[in-house]
Structure 1
């Protein structure tokens, strides 16, 4: 039996990468929160806020993997990040997967994200960023 060719791309990461990705995660989370506060109940910003929450989750996932594994996924397939993060924290991995399911619709779709999805994105991003911040 030949070994499976693992096409997942990872990059080595240390304290500098962990801190850098964590700062970006916190910035994206704060920007999404600020946007929602600025526009209060205006649903027209939901797509932009969800996109920021997605980026917060991706950056936080990278930070968690960097501090725990010394590497994080880098490549075109975000599912590689989900799988790698699952080796560190299954709940965080599920939160990242929730966010990634909204990424295309929020960033490239024509129909707006619902308020329910906006709240799901906020909770998922906040959970991953919190986890990464407490490492």
Structure 2
């Protein structure tokens, strides 16, 4: 089912969103100081291509630099990209068939709002693994 949803997602909006993030990543990589934002854009572009079966988790080893970078990202790009994902998510949720794709847009809100200090993992690996003694 994930594969079918990912293929439909790719055709409806995933390809365009991924291209947008990739172009933003290239632009960010032109300037030396914005390379971390470019790397984050490339990561999000991969997530935008195949969102079903993956989720975003926080990296607990992220430091103060990630916080400062997220604040800069939030001011200059994060709010606008997040508004776009919310509008697209609401637009998809208008129809019953589009609800999973609307939810996929809503899943992209946290990483588009503050991308630094987060990672994208398969859904099965997102839950902590406990060692049984």
What's the TM-score once normalised by structure 2's chain length? 0.31
Larger RCO: Structure 1 or Structure 2 (Cα < 8 Å, ≥ 6 residues apart)? Answer: 1
What's the TM-score once normalised by structure 1's chain length? 0.31
